[in-house]
Amino acid sequence: MIKVFGIKNCDTMKKAFAWLEANGVAYEFIDYKKAGVAEANLPDWNQRAGWEKLLNRRGLMWRKLSDDERVAVDEQKALKLMAQYPSLIKRPVLDTGSQLLVGFSPENYTEALK
């Protein structure tokens, strides 16, 4: 079963849910903010996708960070920040078991889930 991790009220998540439903793809949704699973999954996600891809530097949470928190971000600092603030993780994170897709792109979903 495909697992989709994210935050329910996110606009990008809504687009991903709509795409999955329109294409008949069954999935399990896990709200990583409520379920508290982000920190436990970060090592695996980092290994499979890389922290640079996971870290959302465009969102409101990134802008809310202090200058000290945003400066000189490396792998260790990024993982610590994403564990502390799950909203910093780019959404959605879709795990097919064999592939990890970060962010939503209809083209990437079509290619990975055909």
Fold of the 2-112 domain: Glutaredoxin (3.40.30)
Q: What is the pLDDT of residues 21-80, one digit of tens each?
A: 999 999 999 998 877 788 889 999 999 999 999 999 999 999 999 999 999 999 999 999
pTM of the entire predicted model: 0.91
Domain residue ranges in the chain: 2-112
Phi, psi of 78 (to 5 degrees): -60, -45
* Alpha carbon distances (Å) from 56 to 8, 42, 52, 70, 73: 16, 14, 8, 12, 12
* 113 in catalytic set: no
C-alpha span between 44 and 21 (Å, rounded): 27
Residue tagged active-site, from 10, 42, 79, 93: 10
State the chain's maximal CA–CA distance in angstroms. 45
Q: Between β-strands 27-31 and 2-6, what pairing exists: parallel, antiparallel or unpaired?
A: parallel
